[in-house]
Structure 1
Amino acid sequence: MPHPEITLIGSDLSMFGRLRHWLRSVLGLDRAVGFTVLARFWASTAGLVTVALIARFLSPSEQGFYYTFGSLVAVQIIFELGFSFVILQLASHERARLSISQDLDVSGDAIAHARLASVIQKSVRWYSVASLLMVATVLPIGFYFFMTHQPAGQMVHWRLPWCLDAVMAVLNFQLDPLLSFLEGCGYVSQVARLRFRQAVTGSVLAWLALVLGHGLFAPAMMLCGTGSMSLIWLLGKRKLLLGLLQYPAGANRIQWNSEVWPFQWRIAVSWFCGYFIFWLFNPVLFAYRGPVEAGRMGMSLSVASAIQNISVAWVSTKSAPFGTFIAHKEYRQLDRVFAHAFSQSSAVALLGALTAWLGCLYLNFEHIHFGQRLLDPASMAMLMISMIINVMVFAQAYYLRAHKQEVFLVNSVVGAISVTLCTLIFGRYYGARGIVASCCVGNILGLLWATQKFQKYRRIWHAA
């Protein structure tokens, strides 16, 4: 007769096993997605705390500076040139023919080994140069912008916070390609776990800055926490990284100009356009309508971005597996995994958008002061619709780019031009509501165009 305690333990383990199976099969929560969602869930929850602290400890004008800092730092997209995504895809393709031991020794196909080494060697060279260019560009741009558009009679001490924010952004910019490379090498769940630690550390440091009365230092402290966690984790992988950096790639190195650049330049243009699509709102509103309205837009965008980042996790964490499926021509498995991830990602975006909009509606209906720091409910609704569309298009882009192709180039250019024009024209004369309304219409048309291209190229590539 079995001991009752053993039976109980076995039952608990069985329940735990069923729960794990349900999380994997129904929600698609493997370790990589789980840690990524956990990190983004923390970032979203912490983001709400940050939003509350900003409303409590920053003036409406300082709130505008806070969010515009982030928009200007995002200029790093121009220097990034899509390298991080390309690095991940190249590493995952070469890693498919290699083995990496627990001791971080690489074995397997010699050509793949050389090509993998050349990926990180090229990346480190480029990011070292780009970091210098970035700090020499972003700092003076910020000084000029804020000195030119600071409202008369409103003393906001932004100079030192801006300097630290830009420097910390450059540090993280230098470390990001190493994380992308290791993620492509199969350390997806470990990188996802690191992202969670980064989110927690950065948030806590930012909160301390806000509570202690140094609110505009919060963005720099957030980046400081992120960078310090990256450095600590990368030290544990130094044997692998240094070994590949010193490995003689020779004639087997990846020929960047012929193999990668024809694909990468399209990614670079798309990401460059992404700045104008996603980051132009705050600076334009800051310049035309003042820091208060820019602050409302910034806080509303931070809510939308938090939901978007969580939603995209179901697809973004599949980038490396997508590359492996394609390398082995396992297209049926690729489509099955993508379809499952896409539906889960879209459902999470829809649920999050509805929750955020109802919250905004409640704050305004009850005349709660905090609601005045956000956009009005009508504008928030249009912003949430745009966010859901972005999640769907991002998912399609991850799938197509895993084939080392960039077919959304023209879409990105057209989108950037239209969003820039809408932002400049409608933002100047109609403010935030004009921007979100015009961009929402453009996003709906963009989704139809992107879906048509997605279906077309998927058929062509998989029939070959």
Structure 2
Amino acid sequence: MFSGPLVIIVVAKTLTTGEMSLYYAFFNVIALQQIMEMGIGFTIKQYISHSYKLTEKNEWGQESKANIISYMKFSFLWYLVISLFIFFILGYVGSVFFSSYKGSTDWKGAWWMLVFITGFFTIVTPFQFLIEGCQRQISIYKSRLLSGIFLSLVLGLSLYYGAGLYSIAIAVFISNLIFYLYLFKTIKELVSELIGVKTKKNIKTTFIEVWDMLSKISVTWILGYFFWNSFNLIAFKMLTNDLAGRFGFTLSLVRAGYSIAESIVASQTTIYASYISAGEVKLARRQFEKSMYISMALLISGYFLYIAVYKILPGLFIFDKTLNLTYTIEMFLYFVLLLPVTSQANYCRCFKNEPYFKLSLFMNIQVPIVFYLTCYYVGEPNFIYLLPFSMLSLIWSCYIYYDTENRYKIKCRQENMK
């Protein structure tokens, strides 16, 4: 998300490798809010998507509205708690973590500025679930695209003009402001439909309703924080500032391609859920597999392009601050193996179930431990030791993927026989 081409160039030009270690660690520490989020966002989107129904007259049904209101009330309460967590706990945790930094960069003011801005915008996050769940994907995609463009521009310009680590908070504020201003009309339209509609469900009732799915997702979601964010945090603590900065910069390049490819599937989960809810499982699967193959082709092509540029222009200034090509290719292989696993998991969860609990638990524990041991004993951020586990995870994921649909078909047949 923060690794657009413009930002990558400016980061390489304006920050030292030592400053890069702080820059990337900032994002990973602020992401601790994921522990409190516990997967409620994904869960609520699925429930809203399954509840969103139109009548024969193409009008939004009252029962559908009542259910969705209960999910929204629950979401706003949950995210208010997360916001307070960011303000009063996460800020302090980050200060303690970064206190071990031995460089000359002043990071405290920039860190607390990021904390307050993140906490503020967290409160309104549930509006995104409402928009996506009510099948307004085009609006949300356009706003994310526009917001992403502004984030890259503001972040790049702020870094270029010397704002340093403060650039992160400035860019996050502007991009979120643009995001919600663009969505304001859609939010107003949906909220106006819900005003005055009463629901019999209270917060406790709603919690009990979503708990079956949430309880399974929450553990993997919490551990997932360490899966996605442990790399830079471990590197920050275990490696030199220079090596940690090079690693963080290289990882951001690799993950930029992965994030773009992965979003092709992830952005359509509510569409898959809607098809499944309507009994169109074959259509959902066909749409998913088409998207997954496109995302795989895009990711592999992007990684080959990087290797080609590295070979043709090895003296390019960007490569002065990356890891060597061998380590980078190992990262490429890791994320190529990871993409079908995460894509299949996102699709299978559209059945309002969490069949990936054991696999996610395995990956979320194994990856940080193996990487930590690698840094501790080898002293280098080497991904080669993660690849055998990635192959195992891919095989396991394929089995779950086919088994999930078979179980769903059996369940539907049993319900039809009653």
Tell me if both proteins adopt one fold, taking TM over 0.5 as the criterion. Answer: yes
For residue 101 of structure 2, what is the aligned residue in structure 1?
150
The unaligned stretches of length 5 or more in structure 1 are 1-39, 102-106
User: What is the rounded CA distance, in whole Å, between the counterparts of 1:355 and 1:100 in structure 2?
Assistant: 51
For the pair 1:453 / 2:400, whether they are aligned, the reply is yes
User: What is the rounded CA distance, in whole Å, between the counterparts of 2:56 and 2:252 in structure 1?
Assistant: 40
Report if the CA contact (8 A) 1:307-1:349 is conserved.
yes
For residue 383 of structure 1, what is the aligned residue in structure 2?
331
Report if the CA contact (8 A) 1:323-1:403 is conserved.
yes
User: What is the rounded CA distance, in whole Å, between the counterparts of 2:75 and 2:380 in structure 1?
Assistant: 39
Q: CA deviation at 1:87?
A: 1.9
Report if the CA contact (8 A) 1:64-1:286 is conserved.
yes
For the pair 1:168 / 2:112, whether they are aligned, the reply is no
User: What is the rounded CA distance, in whole Å, between the counterparts of 2:360 and 2:191 in structure 1?
Assistant: 34
* Alignment map for 1:118-157 (pairs within 5 Å): 118-147=70-99, 149-151=100-102, 154-157=103-106
Q: TM-score with structure 1 length normalisation?
A: 0.83
For residue 283 of structure 2, what is the aligned residue in structure 1?
333
* Alignment map for 1:269-288 (pairs within 5 Å): 269-288=219-238
CA distances 1:59-111 after superposition (whole Å, capped 9, x unpaired)? 2211111111011111111011112211221111111346999xxxxx44322
The unaligned stretches of length 5 or more in structure 2 are 412-418
Letter in 2 for 1:387: F
Q: Secondary structure in 2 aligned to 1:250?
A: coil
User: What is the rounded CA distance, in whole Å, between the counterparts of 2:305 and 2:126 in structure 1?
Assistant: 35
User: What is the rounded CA distance, in whole Å, between the counterparts of 2:195 and 2:346 in structure 1?
Assistant: 28
Cα distance change of structure 1 residues 260 and 413 upon mapping to structure 2, 3 Å threshold: same
154, 164, 169: which one aligns with 1:220: 169
Q: Secondary structure in 2 aligned to 1:405?
A: coil
User: What is the rounded CA distance, in whole Å, between the counterparts of 2:95 and 2:170 in structure 1?
Assistant: 19
Q: Secondary structure in 1 aligned to 2:49?
A: helix
Larger Rg: 1
Report if the CA contact (8 A) 1:54-1:215 is conserved.
no
Letter in 1 for 2:288: F
* Alignment map for 1:79-228 (pairs within 5 Å): 79-97=36-54, 107-147=59-99, 149-151=100-102, 154-228=103-177
Report if the CA contact (8 A) 1:164-1:220 is conserved.
yes
For residue 442 of structure 1, what is the aligned residue in structure 2?
389
User: What is the rounded CA distance, in whole Å, between the counterparts of 1:432 and 1:86 in structure 2?
Assistant: 38
Cα distance change of structure 1 residues 264 and 97 upon mapping to structure 2, 3 Å threshold: farther
Report if the CA contact (8 A) 1:134-1:170 is conserved.
yes
CA distances 1:17-52 after superposition (whole Å, capped 9, x unpaired)? xxxxxxxxxxxxxxxxxxxxxxx7xx76xx222122
CA distances 1:399-439 after superposition (whole Å, capped 9, x unpaired)? 111111111111111112111211221112324433x2222
Q: CA deviation at 1:361?
A: 4.4
For the pair 1:394 / 2:346, whether they are aligned, the reply is no
Cα distance change of structure 1 residues 357 and 80 upon mapping to structure 2, 3 Å threshold: farther
Report if the CA contact (8 A) 1:285-1:431 is conserved.
no
Report if the CA contact (8 A) 1:131-1:173 is conserved.
yes
For the pair 1:372 / 2:320, whether they are aligned, the reply is yes
Q: Secondary structure in 2 aligned to 1:433?
A: coil
For the pair 1:352 / 2:299, whether they are aligned, the reply is no
